[in-house]
């Protein structure tokens, strides 16, 4: 975990990244939050960031056949470890004197923050889903993968292996193939600066978990349902399509009609922390104002 503290603030943002990312992806967002008097804790989930391990076949030159079949180490990491990363950070924020704890999950990060919201409901004030996985109780997020509302997603265009074979969402961010790089930009961060994208590709890791999407959250009205919940839609997202984002919001509101999700929108791709960090920080602060 990387921390930045502002002594004048009693609000701490816990920033949970998505697939293949790490704490580093929030580096251009946190200065804006800290300048406004907030504290931040950026997470590395298990198997990501400085906790990453790499397939033996992930080398130069790449053996594409081996890369497409080698089992992933990340398949052995249970969802409970991801949840604990969030709840440990919540405890850290409280120990540091935070009066308000705001947990932000991007993309994949929406899964563990959902479970953490139920577990640590008495310590979390707001959950913010940044174009993130969000769903109703007792239904695995995997149900959304094949929803008609996800039509047009470009995520599958950049995967290098069958998730059922390797136990991970696997891709090759080290690829120098111009066609692949163009596909990756289109899928993830079409509105991003090419130099920033090139730098990010050197830090993104090849494997992200699949099994966590099959877990069914047992969410209750008294705990998870009591937390303020916000969804930040990204209208130009080609990973989680806007129609799917709307469906997730609708499904959760149907489950908890007495406390509907508050919705904000950004005109951005799937990676606003890379393409629009200042605007994202402003959206996060507006969400808790």
Q: What is the pLDDT of residues 192-206, one digit of tens each?
A: 999 999 999 999 999
The beta strand positions in 117-201, using DSSP E, are 126-130, 168-170
Q: What is the mean pLDDT of residues 229-238?
A: 98
Average pLDDT, the chain: 95
pLDDT of residue 6: 37
Q: Are 138 and 109 in contact (CB under 8 A)?
A: no
pLDDT at 3 over 60: no
Task: Report residue 60's pLDDT band, with 50, 70 and 90 as the boundaries.
Answer: confident
End-to-end alpha carbon distance in the chain: 26
Q: Please, what's the largest Cα pairwise distance for the chain?
A: 55
pLDDT at 67 over 80: yes
pLDDT at 112 over 90: yes
pLDDT of residue 262: 98
Task: Report residue 5's pLDDT band, with 50, 70 and 90 as the boundaries.
Answer: very low
pLDDT at 22 over 90: yes
Task: Report residue 183's pLDDT band, with 50, 70 and 90 as the boundaries.
Answer: very high
pLDDT at 88 over 60: yes
**149-176, pLDDT tens digit by residue?**
999 999 999 999 999 999 999 999 999 9
Q: What is the mean pLDDT of residues 72-97?
A: 97
Q: What is the mean pLDDT of residues 119-135?
A: 98
Burial class (CB in 10 A: 0-12, 13-18, 19+), 255: middle
Q: What share of the chain is helix, strand, coil (3-state, %, to 5)?
A: 40, 15, 45
Task: Report residue 1's pLDDT band, with 50, 70 and 90 as the boundaries.
Answer: low
């Amino acid at each position: 975990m990387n921390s930045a503290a502002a002594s004048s603030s009693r609000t701490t943002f816990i920033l949970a990244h998505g697939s293949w990312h790490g704490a580093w992806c929030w580096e251009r967002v946190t200065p804006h939050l800290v300048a406004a008097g907030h504290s931040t804790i950026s997470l590395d989930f298990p198997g990501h960031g400085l906790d990453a391990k790499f397939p033996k076949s992930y080398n130069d030159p790449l053996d594409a056949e081996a890369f497409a079949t080698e089992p992933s180490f990340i398949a052995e990491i249970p969802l409970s470890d991801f949840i604990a990363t969030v709840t440990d950070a919540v405890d850290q924020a409280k120990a540091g004197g935070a009066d308000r704890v705001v947990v932000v999950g991007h993309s994949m990060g929406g899964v563990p923050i959902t479970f953490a919201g139920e577990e640590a409901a008495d310590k979390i004030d707001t959950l913010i889903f940044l174009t993130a996985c969000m769903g109703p109780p007792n239904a695995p997020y995997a149900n959304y993968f094949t929803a008609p509302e996800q039509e047009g997603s470009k995520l599958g265009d950049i995967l290098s292996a069958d998730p059922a074979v390797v136990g991970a969402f696997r891709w090759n961010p080290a690829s120098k193939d111009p066609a692949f790089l163009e596909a990756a930009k289109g899928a993830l961060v079409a509105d991003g600066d090419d130099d920033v994208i090139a730098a990010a590709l050197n830090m993104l890791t090849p494997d992200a978990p699949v099994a966590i999407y099959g877990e069914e959250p047992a969410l209750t009205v008294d705990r998870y349902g009591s937390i303020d919940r916000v969804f930040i839609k990204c209208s130009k997202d080609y990973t989680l399509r806007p129609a799917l984002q709307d469906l997730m919001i609708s499904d959760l509101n149907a489950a908890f009609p007495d406390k509907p999700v508050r919705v904000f929108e950004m005109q951005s791709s799937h990676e606003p922390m890379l393409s629009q960090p200042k605007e994202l920080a402003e959206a996060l602060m507006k969400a808790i104002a």
